[in-house]
């Protein structure tokens, strides 16, 4: 008989049991459920709501159940619906009537909200750790490629020369913001809802702060209706995860392009590539393609949560059971993507000559030639037009700007002199952009230093 079945005259249909049950996915919260229950029952004993010795017996038995679960000695029962009722049923089986006192002063509504928040705290820390690992790989790549010149792109057209170090540090900043977003989200996750009851708290003289302190929460929810009926913290986390996947997907797209013969900038390690069932020559960037593809899965989880919550009246509704499976899947997906992506990056080979040749071949120094003319006294709009005509001339002659003779250049602007070639060399183009945030080695080194300090601050 179900623990809630007192007013019912018949059992639920077996099909309804399967439809209603969430044990298949919420069983992963067993640790959080037991720790939350242990803190709750300790408070019940301390506040004199139940005898202290009974509270200690329940608490002791809960930890024994935890140990048995982790040793694989316990299986869960779908007829008990969820992890919360499963553990309570096991407790009652072991210590009888005393076990039935565990649920005094709480509802499954605030119990579920508590377990969910506790689980998400742990998962946020796990995602953050993986992001920090990826950031470490990016810093290593940046440090070893300060002088690796490559084309920077806009509209996927070669635009200006940068370095691979500068490019890697762009992603470092994106993932840094992802870490900061997770930290900010954690603040709103780490508020304890237990004590909200089903929706209207409880008449028992409970001490919510005692439980919150034992479980490591920063505070308690201030409204019992809100405590059990919103999942904005879950939606916010799903949003953070989606943004992480946006960044991973964009990066994956570049890795896929760079590893193609058309770009030839990198070669992925065999351990993170696959072959073709029919074409023997193929080496496919499947790791990056899967990361790119799985982004849609995470976005879908965010949309699922938004849709579930958008029309719900206060307080709890069974619709909210759909919050966990979507977010659990998003968390699992992001963690697996981060782990594989970091290893893929760390093991790839970089074709420095290929990157340099691409930067040489796309008039990426055209802006620097225009700036050179500005320094000679030509207004920028005029210099822009002059260099545009020079580029058109070079395209017609199938040459680069630096291949033009001095006389050819003077035909377009008489102010050009012999120092132009140094001014438009790719090395000068990069070195000259030594402003904070620019691609010059000195600026990137400062960015790397700041990045290392950030990583150190996160490990404290």
Interval 323-338: pLDDT, tens: 999 999 999 999 999 9
Weakest mean pLDDT among 264-268, 309-313, 317-321: 317-321
- Where a domain ends, among 89, 104, 119? 104
Q: Quick check: is 127 in a domain?
A: yes
Report pLDDT for 83.
92
For the residues 178-183, what does the mean pLDDT come to? 98
Catalytically active residues are 155, 276
What CATH number is attached to the domain comprising 384?
1.10.40.30
Say how far apart CA 23 and CA 435 lie, in whole Å: 56
| Backbone phi and psi for residue 107, each to the nearest 5 degrees, phi listed first | -120, 160
Say how far apart CA 242 and CA 236 lie, in whole Å: 10
| Model confidence at 27: pLDDT above 60 | yes
Query: How many domains are there within the chain?
Result: 3
Report pLDDT for 327.
97
Report pLDDT for 459.
74
Q: Quick check: is 453 in a domain?
A: no
Query: Which of left, alpha, beta for 266 (phi over 0: left; psi -120 to 50: alpha)?
Result: beta
| Model confidence at 443: pLDDT above 70 | yes
Check whether residue 152 and residue 48 sit in a common domain: no
Percent of the chain with pLDDT over 90: 90
The owner of tokens 């900043």 is 173
Report pLDDT for 200.
97
In 3D space, the residue among 347, 345, 337, 346 whose CA is nearest the CA of residue 127 turns out to be: 337
Check whether residue 24 and residue 99 sit in a common domain: yes
Confidence of residue 18 (pLDDT cuts 50, 70, 90): low
Strand partners, 349: 267
Burial of 241 (0-12, 13-18, 19+ CB in 10 A): buried
57-74 pLDDT, tens per residue? 999 999 999 999 999 999
Report pLDDT for 210.
98
Cα angle at 100 between 94 and 102, to 5 degrees?
100
Average pLDDT, the chain: 94
Report pLDDT for 289.
97
Check whether residue 27 and residue 45 sit in a common domain: yes
Sign of the Cα torsion 343, 349, 355, 358 reads negative
Report pLDDT for 4.
45
Strands 349-350 and 266-267: antiparallel
Report pLDDT for 77.
87
For the residues 411-433, what does the mean pLDDT come to? 96
Confidence of residue 199 (pLDDT cuts 50, 70, 90): very high
Check whether residue 419 and residue 277 sit in a common domain: no
Strands 219-220 and 149-154: unpaired
Check whether residue 62 and residue 143 sit in a common domain: no
- Where a domain ends, among 314, 331, 352? 352
Q: Please give the model's pTM, rounded to 2 decimal places.
A: 0.93
374-405 pLDDT, tens per residue? 999 999 999 999 999 999 999 999 999 999 99
Check whether residue 149 and residue 211 sit in a common domain: yes
Report pLDDT for 20.
59
- Where a domain ends, among 352, 379, 399? 352
For the residues 129-135, what does the mean pLDDT come to? 98
For residue 302, what are its two tokens?
């965010």
| Model confidence at 101: pLDDT above 90 | yes
232-255 pLDDT, tens per residue? 999 999 999 999 999 999 999 999
Report pLDDT for 186.
98
Check whether residue 96 and residue 200 sit in a common domain: no
Check whether residue 124 and residue 165 sit in a common domain: yes
113 contacts 193 by C-beta, under 8 angstroms: yes
Report pLDDT for 23.
81
28 contacts 328 by C-beta, under 8 angstroms: yes
Check whether residue 158 and residue 254 sit in a common domain: yes
Report pLDDT for 8.
55
Report pLDDT for 435.
96
């Amino acid at each position: 008989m179900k623990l809630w079945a007192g007013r019912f005259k018949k059992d639920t249909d077996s099909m309804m049991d399967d439809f209603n049950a969430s044990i298949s996915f919420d069983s992963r919260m067993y640790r959080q459920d037991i720790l939350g229950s242990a803190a709750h029952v300790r408070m019940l004993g301390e506040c004199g709501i139940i005898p202290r010795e009974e509270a200690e017996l329940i608490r002791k038995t809960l930890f024994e159940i935890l140990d048995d679960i982790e040793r694989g000695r316990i299986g869960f029962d779908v007829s008990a619906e969820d992890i919360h009722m499963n553990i309570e049923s096991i407790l009652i089986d072991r210590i009888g009537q005393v076990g039935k006192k565990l649920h005094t002063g709480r509802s499954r509504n605030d119990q579920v909200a508590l377990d969910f928040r506790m689980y998400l705290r742990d998962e946020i820390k796990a995602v953050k750790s993986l992001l920090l690992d990826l950031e470490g790989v990016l810093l290593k790549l940046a440090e070893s490629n300060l002088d690796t010149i490559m084309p920077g792109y806009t509209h996927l057209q070669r635009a200006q020369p940068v370095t691979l170090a500068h490019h890697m540090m762009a992603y470092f900043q994106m993932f840094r913001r992802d870490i900061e977003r997770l930290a900010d989200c954690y603040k709103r996750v780490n508020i304890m809802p237990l004590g909200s009851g089903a929706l209207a708290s409880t008449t028992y003289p409970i001490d919510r702060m005692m439980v919150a302190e034992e479980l490591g929460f920063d505070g308690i929810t201030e409204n019992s209706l809100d405590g059990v009926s919103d999942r904005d913290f879950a939606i916010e986390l799903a949003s953070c995860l989606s943004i992480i996947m946006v960044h991973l997907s964009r990066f994956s797209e570049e890795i896929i392009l760079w590893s193609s013969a058309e770009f030839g900038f990198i070669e992925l390690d065999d351990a993170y590539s696959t072959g073709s069932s029919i074409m023997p020559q193929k080496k496919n960037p499947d790791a990056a393609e899967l990361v790119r593809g799985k982004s849609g899965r995470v976005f879908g989880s965010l949309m699922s949560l938004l849709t579930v919550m958008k029309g719900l009246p206060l307080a709890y509704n069974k619709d909210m059971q759909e919050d966990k499976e979507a977010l659990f899947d998003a968390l699992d997906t992001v963690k697996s993507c981060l782990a594989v992506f970091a290893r893929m990056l760390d093991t790839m080979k970089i074709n420095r000559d290929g990157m340099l040749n691409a930067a040489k071949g796309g008039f990426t120094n055209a802006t620097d030639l225009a700036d050179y003319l500005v320094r000679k006294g030509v207004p920028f709009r005029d210099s822009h037009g002059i260099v545009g005509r020079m580029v058109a001339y070079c395209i017609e002659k199938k040459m680069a700007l630096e291949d033009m003779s001095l006389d050819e250049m003077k035909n377009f602007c008489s102010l050009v002199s012999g120092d132009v070639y140094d001014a438009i060399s790719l090395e000068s183009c990069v070195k000259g952009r030594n402003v904070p945030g620019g691609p010059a080695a000195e600026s990137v080194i400062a960015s790397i230093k700041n990045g290392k300090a950030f990583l150190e601050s996160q490990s404290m």
